[in-house]
């Protein structure tokens, strides 16, 4: 009769032999954002009573919509090996222009007397103008980086400053409010008044559709695969005949477009826009940068996912929300944001260090060379 203990020992030996530690760590690292989100939800559910209630989850998800949209374009730019530090100003451009142009076209279309048709028509025209402005400023960034060969850090910092002056000039330093409250009802009215489903409004559906579209563009098309190649190995991309300059320019246009769209939808939901959004509280650029890296996008380019960036945004917002639920103040959010961003930078530095070590490793010898080496020692 076979010994059960002996069989168990043989089985465990086989499992241990087949266990690939490096593969497991690689899988965990690749899916770290999902693990991170689950851990955050568990911790906050224990520490903050009512964290998972519908009355808390719905606002949490709604506050994630703006940084998710901004993070889409930011991820594209970073996959290409660049940065767009002007996204905060692009948000203000989209927000202020949609409010200002809405008021102008609302009167042209007949005002309150024209009813809902004037509101929708004016908002669509105003949104097109605001999106065009964001895309145009993104185009300038892209041309200076791709054609002018100026570092993206310098270009986008310059654009950030320029747009800061533009939004104050456009708004004269004042808050711009929409002339009709119907706009908020249209964009923020829940499609289903059920617990947890109240999150689904016109604003959230637009955000989800944009997210899905750009994820498909990134991972399911030859254009997206070409962008990954440009970010990871420019020489190989050049040899493959990829138009690198055009791709990099388009990433900045996408970044300007999505940041402006985030500003448009946010301002529409609030029925107003201010020229200094982001100057108080958690800076949207810092939130988007941390989310993009936590989501798996490498700072040097060549790897990333807009869906994982979106999940990282939700995870970070869950931290901020949970801290409030624990009775901690706004200062704790700022501290948590700083610690989180610092940890992200350290982690990215560690990853780059490990990559540099792998690049410096000597390749394995051919069997013939190994044999000659052993004979020489003998």
Q: What is the pLDDT of residue 280?
A: 59
Render pLDDT for 49-68 as a digit per residue (tens, 0 to 9).
Answer: 888 888 899 999 999 999 99
Give the DSSP per-residue string, 204-270.
Answer: HHHHHHHHHHHHHHHHSSHHHHHHHHHHH-HHHHHHTT--HHHHHHHHHHHHHHHHHHHHHHHHHHH
Q: What is the pLDDT of residue 200?
A: 92
Backbone angles phi, psi at 15, to 5 degrees: -60, -45
34's CB contacts (< 8 A; 6+ apart) are: 311
Would you state the structure tokens that stand for residue 177, as one six-digit string? 């409010």
Distance in angstroms (rounded) separating the CA atoms of residues 261 and 270: 14
Domain definitions of the chain by residue range: 54-277
Q: What is the pLDDT of residue 180?
A: 85
Q: What is the pLDDT of residue 17?
A: 52
How would you class 149 by CB atoms within 10 Å of its CB: exposed for 0-12, middle for 13-18, buried for 19 or more? Answer: exposed
Q: What is the pLDDT of residue 307?
A: 95
Based on its alpha-carbon atoms, the radius of gyration of the chain, rounded to whole angstroms, reads 25
Q: What is the pLDDT of residue 366?
A: 45
Q: What is the pLDDT of residue 362?
A: 47
| pTM across the whole model | 0.85
Render pLDDT for 133-176 as a digit per residue (tens, 0 to 9).
Answer: 999 999 999 999 999 999 999 999 999 999 999 999 999 989 99
Q: Which parts of the chain register pLDDT below 70?
A: 1-22, 24-26, 28-29, 113, 278-282, 348, 351-352, 354-378
CA atoms 343, 346, 350, 356: torsion sign: positive
Q: What is the pLDDT of residue 247?
A: 94
Q: What is the pLDDT of residue 365?
A: 43
């Amino acid at each position: 009769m076979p010994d059960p203990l002996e069989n168990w020992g043989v089985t465990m030996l086989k499992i241990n032999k087949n266990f690939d530690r490096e593969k497991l760590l690689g899988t965990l690292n690749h899916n770290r954002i999902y693990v991170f989100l689950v851990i955050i939800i568990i911790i906050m559910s224990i520490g903050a009573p009512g964290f998972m209630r519908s009355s808390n989850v719905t606002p949490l998800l709604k506050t994630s919509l703006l940084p998710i949209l901004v993070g889409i374009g930011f991820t594209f730019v970073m996959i290409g090996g660049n940065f767009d530090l002007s996204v905060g100003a692009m948000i203000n451009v989209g927000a202020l222009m949609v409010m200002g142009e809405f008021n102008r076209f609302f009167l042209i279309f007949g005002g309150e007397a024209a009813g809902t048709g004037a509101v929708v028509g004016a908002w669509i025209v105003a949104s097109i103008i605001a999106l065009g402005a964001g895309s145009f400023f993104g185009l300038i960034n892209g041309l200076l980086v791709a054609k002018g060969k100026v570092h993206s850090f310098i270009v986008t910092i310059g654009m950030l400053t320029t747009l800061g002056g533009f939004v104050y000039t456009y708004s004269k330093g004042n808050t711009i409010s929409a002339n009709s409250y119907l706009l908020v009802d249209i964009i923020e009215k829940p499609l289903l008044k059920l617990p947890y489903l109240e999150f689904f409004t016109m604003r959230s559906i637009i955000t989800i559709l944009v997210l899905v579209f750009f994820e498909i563009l990134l991972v399911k098309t030859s254009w997206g695969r070409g962008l990954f190649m440009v970010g990871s190995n420019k020489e190989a991309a050049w040899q493959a005949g990829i138009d690198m300059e055009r791709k990099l320019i388009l990433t900045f246009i996408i970044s300007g477009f999505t940041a402006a769209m985030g500003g448009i939808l946010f301002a529409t939901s609030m029925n107003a826009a201010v020229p200094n959004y982001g100057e108080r509280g958690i800076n949207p650029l810092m939130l988007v940068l941390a989310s993009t890296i936590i989501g798996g996008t490498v700072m040097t380019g060549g790897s990333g996912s807009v869906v994982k960036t979106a999940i990282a945004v939700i995870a970070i917002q869950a931290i901020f929300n949970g801290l409030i639920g624990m009775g901690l103040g706004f200062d704790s959010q700022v501290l948590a944001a700083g610690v989180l961003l610092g940890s992200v930078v350290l982690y990215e530095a560690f990853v780059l260090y490990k990559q540099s070590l792998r690049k410096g490793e000597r390749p394995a010898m051919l069997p013939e060379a190994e044999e000659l080496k052993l004979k020489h020692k003998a």
